Amino acid sequence: MASPERVFLDSNVLVYAYSFTDLPRRERARALADLPGAVISTQVLSEFANVLVRKFAMADDEARNRVAEVAARCHVIAITPAVVLDAFRVRARYRLGFYDSQIIAAALAATASVLYSEDLHDGLLVDGKLRIVSPFRPRAEQRHKGYRLRLRRPRPDRGH
């Protein structure tokens, strides 16, 4: 029996797992958090906690409970000095911000094959082994990024 695919979740995915306003995204995010190979980092856990208490003004006890739920669902890896140092390599190679690079470096350290994030570059293949995927975009959009339906306004008849 094959081992489950290791997927890494960014904090924005976890935030949607507790959304009350976007039910389809909430269900998708919860399904990802429940995957047997789901991994997060201590950075992701901290960012998630910060959004709960600052953006959503959640009481500390409730926020603590939600952070504990996520930590129990997912495998959590610590941000080590090695991950911080690798973030500089990722930053230089892919021209990303430091904290985004640190998320990627943590996903690489966790040997994840997919990094689910709404904020990073959907479709980017990092080091030939980690694909960044936006979990909320329809699959057709992910494959055909340039395709969009464009409606044109009818031109007024110019009497020709």
CA distance 15 to 50: 10
- Residue 13 counted as domain residue: yes
Q: For residue 74, tell me if it sits in a domain.
A: yes
Q: What is the pLDDT of residue 3?
A: 54
pLDDT at 155: 44
Assigned domain for 54 exists: yes
Domain that holds residue 53: 7-143
Which candidate, 127, 116, 118, places its Cα nearest to that of 39? Answer: 116
Q: What is the pLDDT of residues 103-119, one digit of tens each?
A: 999 999 999 999 999 88
* Overall number of domains in the chain: 1
Q: What pLDDT, in 10s, does the model give residues 58-87?
A: 999 999 999 999 999 899 999 999 999 999
Rg (Cα) of the chain, in Å, rounded? 19
pTM for the predicted model, two decimal places: 0.80
Which CA distances in Å does 75 have to 7, 36, 69, 142, 156? 10, 9, 12, 27, 61
pLDDT in tens, 19-57: 778 888 888 898 998 888 899 999 999 999 999 999 889
Higher pLDDT, residue 10 or 149: 10
Q: Kindly state whether residue 76 falls inside one of the protein's structural domains.
A: yes
Let me know if residue 148 belongs to a domain. Answer: no
- Asked if residue 84 belongs to a domain, the reply is yes
Q: Per the domain annotation, does 150 fall within a domain?
A: no
The candidate with the shortest Cα–Cα distance to 114, out of 29, 32, 11, 3, is 32
Cβ pair 136, 25 in contact under 8 A: yes
Residue 81 lies in a domain: yes
CA-CA distance, 90 to 101, in Å (whole number)?
6
For position 138, which CATH number holds? 3.40.50.1010
Find how far residue 92's CA is from the centre of its chain.
Answer: 21
